[in-house]
């Protein structure tokens, strides 16, 4: 029998060829950025218990590993350091040491491999004893402007070391303007800024904090600088300010909890939009997989394709290595 329906959307889903003909979004190798943890103490790649298949890489093994990833088709890397505890202090001064781990890493990689893009994290949390992204003042507040001054100096060191983009992930006010000025004044007009513009105060950062050995565990409260999950208008304002201050790429973070923000950013700013699928988004899929409750690869693919559909042009994800081999 047949009801003579005019509309049968299923006609276009009849077979794989038709389904791919009508596909609205797809993933390309160049959509991905792989976050990479590097470590000062490690001699071997060190597993991170809450992030299966992700390691902290010792500097001595980093260059061959980046080559392997590049040969798989990964060309952009965001570098995050775990420095020796003895080098941490209240103001994160190791960040301004030109031969600190993160800067040495870029110098080494770029002296051997030219066809990769390196993104430097600009924030103080890997360098402070307390795990905050900025300098604490005597009242327990994060002191905005001195932090911005330090971040801008660090951005110049990152540019000098060979980073292609600097990525302020700290959420201080006005930092894009000051970083842009400092890069221009130090003759780095072509180093772009990928700004963590709408970065939420998220509990999904827990595994990352373990990975960089940041004292701030899941419970460290960053809500005087990161956004509240309840707010949308506040994110719009942050995106606009970073755009006006000269950010070249706007980032939303975390990704899946912030699909509305990604979508808004894509529709309202004519610069590339990045989304960061953070450590806890990665770990929750893995954890369910290890319980036998979810299929790892298809859930990973579904999450990334959904983030792309929401409007992200660039996706930071720990699943990069796994997914890039499927596309």
Rg (CA), the chain: 20
Q: Is 48 in the site for ligand PBG (CB under 6 A)?
A: no
The smaller minimum CB distance to ligand PBG, of residues 144 and 279, is found at 279
Binding residue (CB under 6 A) for ligand PBG from 109, 123, 193, 249: 123
Select 185 or 203, whichever has its Cβ closest to ligand PBG. Answer: 203
Tokens representing residue 245 in the block: 């201050």
Contact residue for ligand PBG among 94, 133, 164, 256 (CB under 6 A): 133
Enumerate residues 185-224 that contact ligand PBG by CB under 6 A.
205, 208-209, 222
Dig out the tokens for 324 from the structure: 């890039």
Residue 166 near ligand PBG by CB under 6 A: no
Q: How many angstroms separate the Cα of 218 from the Cα of each of 86, 149, 152, 228?
A: 22, 27, 27, 16
Stretch in the footprint of ligand PBG (CB under 6 A) among 42-50, 118-126, 230-238, 303-311: 118-126
Stretch that binds ligand PBG, among 14-22, 117-125, 182-190, 258-266 (CB under 6 A): 117-125
Strands (E), the chain: 32-39, 46-48, 51-58, 76-82, 117-122, 165-168, 192-199, 249-253, 273-276, 314-316
If the CB atoms of residues 111 and 192 are measured against ligand PBG, the closer one turns out to be 192
| Main-chain dihedrals φ then ψ at residue 326, nearest 5 degrees | -100, -5
Q: Does the footprint of ligand PBG cover residue 40 (CB under 6 A)?
A: no
Apex CA 244: angle with CA 306 and CA 227, to 5°?
Answer: 50
Residue 279 interacting with ligand PBG (CB under 6 A)? yes
Using rule CB under 6 A, residue 32 touches ligand PBG:
no
Query: Is residue 103 involved in binding ligand PBG (CB under 6 A)?
Result: no
Q: How far is CA 140 from CA 71, 148, 188, in A?
A: 47, 17, 35
What residue number has its CB nearest to ligand PBG?
208
**In three state form, how does the secondary structure of 23-58 look?**
CCCCCCHHHEEEEEEEECCCCCCEEECCEEEEEEEE
Q: Note the residues at the interface with ligand PBG (CB under 6 A).
A: 121, 123, 125, 133, 169-170, 205, 208-209, 222, 278-279
């Amino acid at each position: 029998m047949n009801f003579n329906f005019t509309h049968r959307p299923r006609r276009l889903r009849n077979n794989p060829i038709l389904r791919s003909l009508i596909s609205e979004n797809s993933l390309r190798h160049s959509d991905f950025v792989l976050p990479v943890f590097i470590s000062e103490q490690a001699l071997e790649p060190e597993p991170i218990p809450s992030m299966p298949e992700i390691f902290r890489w010792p500097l001595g093994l980093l260059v061959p590993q980046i080559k392997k990833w590049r040969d798989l088709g990964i060309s952009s890397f965001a570098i995050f350091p775990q420095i020796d505890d003895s080098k941490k202090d209240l103001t994160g001064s190791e960040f301004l040491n030109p031969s600190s781990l993160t800067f040495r890493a870029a110098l080494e990689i770029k002296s051997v491999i030219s066809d990769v893009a390196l993104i430097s994290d600009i924030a103080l949390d890997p360098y402070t004893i307390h795990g905050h992204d900025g300098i604490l003042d005597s009242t327990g507040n994060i002191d905005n402007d001195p932090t911005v001054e330090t971040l801008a100096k660090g951005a110049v060191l990152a540019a000098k070391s060979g980073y292609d983009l600097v990525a302020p992930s700290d959420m201080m006010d006005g930092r894009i303007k000051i970083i842009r000025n400092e890069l221009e004044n130090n003759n780095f007009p072509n180093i772009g800024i990928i700004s963590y513009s709408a970065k939420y105060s998220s509990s999904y950062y827990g595994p990352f904090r373990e990975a960089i050995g940041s004292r701030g565990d899941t419970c460290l409260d960053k809500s005087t600088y990161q956004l509240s999950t309840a707010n949308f208008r506040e994110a719009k304002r942050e995106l606009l300010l970073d755009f006006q201050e000269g950010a070249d790429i706007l980032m939303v973070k975390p990704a899946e909890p912030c699909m509305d923000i990604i979508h808004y950013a894509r529709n309202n700013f004519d610069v590339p939009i990045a989304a960061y699928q953070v450590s806890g988004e990665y770990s929750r899929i893995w954890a369910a997989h290890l319980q036998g409750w979810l299929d790892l690869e298809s859930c990973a693919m579904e999450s990334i394709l959904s983030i792309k559909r929401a409007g992200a042009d660039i996706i930071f994800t720990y699943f990069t290595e796994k997914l890039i081999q499927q596309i």
